[in-house]
Every structure is written in structure tokens, then in C-alpha cells.
Amino acid sequence: MIAITLPDGSVKHFDAGVTPMDVAKNISEGFARNVISASFNDKTVETATPLTEDGNLILYTWNNEEGKKAFWHSSAHILAQALEQLYPGVKLTIGPAIENGFYYDVDFGDKTISEKDLKDVEDKMIAIARGKHEFSIREASKEDALEFYKKQNNEYKVELIENLEDGTITFCDHDTFTDLCRGGHIPNTGIVKAIKLMSIAGAYWRGDENNKQLTRIYGISFPKQKDLTEYLELLEKAKQRDHRKLGKELELFTFSQKVGQGLPLWLPKGAALRERLENFLKKAQKKAGYEMVISPHIGQKELYVTSGHYAKYGADSFQPIHTPNEGEEFLLKPMNCPHHCEIYNSKPWSYKDLPKRFAEFGTVYRYEQSGELHGLTRVRGFTQDDAHIFCTPDQLDTEFKKVIDLVLYVFGSLGFENFYTQVSLRDPENPEKYIGSIENWEKAEKAIISAAEAKELDYKIEYGEAAFYGPKLDFMVKDALGRSWQLGTIQVDYNLPERFELEYKGSDNETHRPVMIHRAPFGSMERFVAILLEHTGGNFPLWLMPEQVTILSLSEKYEKYSQKVLNLLENDEIRALVDNRNETIGKKIREAEMNKIPYMLIVGEQEEKDGTVSVRKHGEGDLGTMTPEAFSKLIQQAVKEESKEFNV
């Protein structure tokens, strides 16, 4: 007998050789019908894998991330089989699951495939899936595996196998199809009920542009047709909310090939919106004891060598700027933190002076690959709402919790209410990725977990996601379409203070190293605005809108009264404009709706006579008639309710 421990802590005993699916059926036949993958002792296994020792078993359904991963990886195998049947002689390479769906990279040789061919491939995949073919894993020797793919003249699989050790090689079989695979599949193809191939792209073998370019086919699949329909509807909504589309329509930002890829240009409305966001955070930061600093856009290469950024990010940064002085090199700054360390180093400090909280909206530069650039979410020049707190070890816990409070205030003020946190720790298997001592890493990691628990945050731990200099707490926000984004980060750092030899004099009159906290509630202004645009669909909170009110004049006769209303609103610091064009009122209203202006005030003969305005609200319609003074108070109250003060 073997003991199987389930996630709830219960222990069940079975004969050796029991499978995860057998265990699922023992729990409930209904539950077993939904189980599609499993892990045993933290290792992915098939639902039909015999278990021969005591261990911890987790059973996954479609509702689990791991279940979806197995589902989509299995679907990639079905795609590969369909391509082999439709295009004999193609060479398969790799086909992993990704965040939403899967892809397969294929060498089609002299054959071609286009978007119009995808429907035929989908139909073939559905036909294969309906066969309810079981997925099974079998071991193969390195010699046999190499021989199999050499007969197929598949140099890609041969290369993969040559880098594997004998005794670790497995194949996945289903129906008449065989593929090199590590495992992690659903029980059979019949569970896949709905498939959509999304697009075709080029991809270099193993991501190396010196290698041959392959054809990558992206797809997604679901256990129910209804799920696919809902997903495609969500994609359509996402297209309508695409920040690149909205940014152009609302005249917030643009890009220019002459300026350069990935370097956004903020238009007047976008610049004003950004300024309001900055002022909003500056006001909260001032109450929280931050001091604003400014650092240059460049620094000597040696600065980033000292910090470790050059070694870690050198390849992703713009190349050094050479001056007329021989051997003198500067870099466009990839991070603000080295500059802030030198600001701290500008004078001696006592423990009585700490904590010091330096904040800056500092623009940094990274040379992202052109294929990875995407609107404002992936750019080469971006402004971080950066701050660095230098504190004593005893102050670390309190300071970290205060930063959490600030991040939560920002999210609440901007409508991001659905989020969880991720404690990003180092990968214990790859210590070479990080700088600093294990002792310092352990102290920093414990500090973050302690603060997250004290604040009762919903968090999960992710190994290998830490910054190279320290662990961090990342805030993962779900937008209105249910998509997750990483917004806001707090990091604990014992390493940069050592590298920059930062000091303070303690109460014992000895010198000590401060602890450094890195934090950025927005992350970057560019990415934050992009995500906020897509989350709100351009309907920003009233306090943030570029234009809060448009006054629609029925004709030129009422221009004078319109201007009087405008002056009253502007005196009350309400952002308004007058539309007195010679257009129909219907067209003016439609355009104001398209521009997402929150309120429309219609002014005509009756309104001028009565000293009133007719009020319409974006997306809601007519709100009736009121005096301009009453309307102004309505707006001011709405803004006051939205933009609550930050309480320290």
C-alpha cells in the first residue's frame, strides 16, 4: 500500500500502481470527469501514470492554471498531427502551451500556408479530437530517438535530442501520431471540443536570428464551444479597448518613425493627463514624507558597472556614448536607482536622519527588440514613478507596510479593485543570476513575506521572478476584461547599499549599512496609462479626464451665453470647452460621446432666457435642466468623492 496525500491534507491509501485518475474516481465520479491533469510530488504526471510510492498528489481541472496548460499543450500535439496529415513532409519543432492557448513552430519547406488555410487545419484538428485518442507517454533511448528523427530528416528534433541525457527522453503517442515530449497531457483528445487558430507568424529556430525562420501557428482551444465563443467576444471587446486605437482617437499620444521606434510623443491632452497623474501621486508622496529629486538622463558607464546593471542589462541597453575624451563613456540610464544611491552618498547621515525617501519621475531607456515593441506597454524610453527609501533594518518592516498602503491608495483611486500580489523570490537553482550574499537575500525575502501577511494581502510565491539585486512584491491587477497586468512593485535591497558603500552613523556611534526599498506604484507612466486606457475604455475617472465638460451651442446666437457658462466652470477649476461649430446638435452630441467627454451642456434660446443648461451624461443621456452653478457643484462633489485624500 502507498499513502497519497491530497491538497486538503487528507491521506488515502491505495495499492501501488494506482493512477491519478483512479484516485479522482475514488473521491467522486463527477469530480473525475472533470480531472484533466495531475502533479505528483511537484512533478507533472499523466492522469494514467502508475504511482508506486508515497507522495503528494494534486488533481487539476480546466479551472486550474496547470489544467489549462496541459489542455493547451495537448492541443498543440493535435495541431501538429493535423499539419502532418495535411502537409506531408513538414518538419515539426516545438509546440508549448502559452498564457492564452498554444503554438507550434513548423518548417514547411517548399510548402506554404496562409491565414486562409487555417480553417481547413481547424476542421482536421476537430476530426482528430473527436476520435477520443488517449495520450500516452513512453520512454525512449537516446539512440532510438535520434534514429527516429534522422529517418524523418528532422534536424530540429535531432538537435533537441542531442542536448538531452539518455534516460530522460520520452515520446507522446496518440492515434497515429508520435512526438518528442516531456509530458503533461489531458487523458484523451475528445476533451477538446472547440478550436480556433488565431494567426500565423515567423519565428527563428530557438529564437536566434542567425537560424532559419520557421512558421509559427498560434491557436486556442476549449472544453466547450460556449467558452470559445465568449473568448472571441472578449477579444473583440479588447480590440475596441486597444490603447493604441483609443490613444489615437482621444489624441493622447503618437509615434514617429523619424523620432524612432518605441519612443512615444505625448500630445497636449496626453501630457495634461500624465501631469494630473503625477501631481496626484506627488501630493500623496509629500504627505508620506517623500522628497523629490531629479537625476540626469545619462551617467558614466562606471556608475552602472558599480550597480551591476551594466552586467545584467548591458545587452538590452543603448550602447555607450563616446565623448571626445578618449576612454570616456556614458550610457542612457536604464535605471534611476544608481543615481539615487549617489544622491544619498552626497552627505553623511545619522540614524536620526533616517528614513530618507527620495522620489523622482525619472525617464529611463532600454533597447527593446523591435519585434517586442507594443504601443505604450513596451517602449524604449519610459518614465518611472520611482522612489528609493534608505532606512535602518529596524525601520524596514514599517516602511515596507507604508509603501503597501500607498500602492493600495493609488489602485483604489483609479478603479483597480481586483488584484492579488506576487512575492517574487530568487531561483535557488540558479544563484548566478543574482548579486549579494545568501544571508542578505534571506533577510529581504522574510521581510517581504512578513509585511504581506501583516497587511493580509492575497499573495502567492513565485521563484525565479526576483530582480537581480533583491526580492520584490508585485501587484497583479485584473482589468475590466479579466486580463492580468503587473502594476506596482516594491523591492527590498541589501545589495546596492553595499556596492555603493552607503552608510549612516548608528546610536552606537558606529557606521552601518542602510537597507534600500525600491518602489513604483504606477510602474511606468507609459505602461500605466496604456493599461488604464484599456481598463476604462477611455472613460477615465472624472478627476482625470482631459476634458470634463463640453458646452454645445445650438447656434452662434448663443455663443456669448456659452462663454459665460465656460468662464464660470473654469473659475471653479472644471475643464470645459465650447463647441459652437455650425453643425447639428445631434452631430455634436455623437462626437462628444465618441470622445468620451463625461458631460454635455446644451445651450439654446430657453436655456439663455432661464439662465440654465440642459445636461447630458456620457453613456446615460439626459439628466434634465439646472443652473450652471448647480452643475458646477455636482461636478465638484463627484470629483471629491472619486479622489479621496491619502491618509498617512
- Quote the Cα angle for 591-595-598, to 5°: 105
The Cα 218–Cα 229 span in angstroms is 17
Examine the residue annotation and report whether 366 is marked as an active-site residue of this protein. yes
Answer yes or no: are the C-beta atoms of 98 and 72 closer than 8 Å.
Answer: yes
Answer yes or no: are the C-beta atoms of 378 and 368 closer than 8 Å.
Answer: yes
Residue whose entry in the numeric block shows the C-alpha cell 446644451: 602
Answer yes or no: are the C-beta atoms of 107 and 213 closer than 8 Å.
Answer: no
Q: What is the DSSP string of 578-612?
A: EE--SS-HHHHHHHHHHTT-SEEEEE-HHHHHHT-
For the beta carbon of residue 407, count every other beta carbon within 10 angstroms. 22
Closest to 389 in 3D by CA, of 517, 534, 207, 228: 517
Examine the residue annotation and report whether 244 is marked as an active-site residue of this protein. no
Q: Which of 107, 179, 385, 386 is catalytic?
A: 386
The Cα 198–Cα 218 span in angstroms is 5
Examine the residue annotation and report whether 472 is marked as an active-site residue of this protein. yes
Q: Beta-strand (E) ranges in 417-567? A: 419-425, 459-463, 472-478, 484-493, 504-505, 511-512, 515-520, 549-553
Examine the residue annotation and report whether 391 is marked as an active-site residue of this protein. no
What is the number of alpha carbons within 13 Å of residue 413 lying toward its C-beta? 22
Q: Which of 68, 174, 472, 588 is catalytic?
A: 472
Q: What is the DSSP string of 78-129?
A: HHHHHHHHHSTT-EE----EETTEEEEEEE-TT----GGGHHHHHHHHHHHH
> Pairing state of beta strands 55-60 and 2-5?
parallel
Amino acid at 616: R
Q: Which of 274, 340, 366, 535 is catalytic?
A: 366
Cβ-based neighbours of 581, under 8 Å, separated by 6 or more? 588
Is 13 marked within a binding site? no
Is 337 marked within a binding site? yes
Examine the residue annotation and report whether 319 is marked as an active-site residue of this protein. no
DSSP code, position 135: P
Examine the residue annotation and report whether 388 is marked as an active-site residue of this protein. yes
Q: What is the C-alpha radius of gyration for the chain, rounded to an integer number of angstroms?
A: 30
Q: Which of 81, 285, 384, 491 is catalytic?
A: 384
Q: Is 567 left (phi over 0), alpha (psi -120 to 50) or beta?
A: alpha
Examine the residue annotation and report whether 560 is marked as an active-site residue of this protein. no
Helix (H) or strand (E) holding 33: helix 29-34
Q: Which of 388, 402, 527, 618 is catalytic?
A: 388
What cell does 300 get? 558614466
Amino acid at 413: S
Answer yes or no: are the C-beta atoms of 613 and 626 closer than 8 Å.
Answer: yes
Local structure of 16: helix, strand or coil: coil
- Quote the Cα angle for 26-27-32, to 5°: 85
Local structure of 386: helix, strand or coil: strand
- Quote the Cα angle for 592-596-600, to 5°: 45
**Which residues participate in the annotated binding site?**
337, 388, 518
Q: Which positions are catalytic?
A: 337, 366, 384, 386, 388, 472, 518
**Which residues participate in the annotated binding site for Zn(2+)?**
337, 388, 518
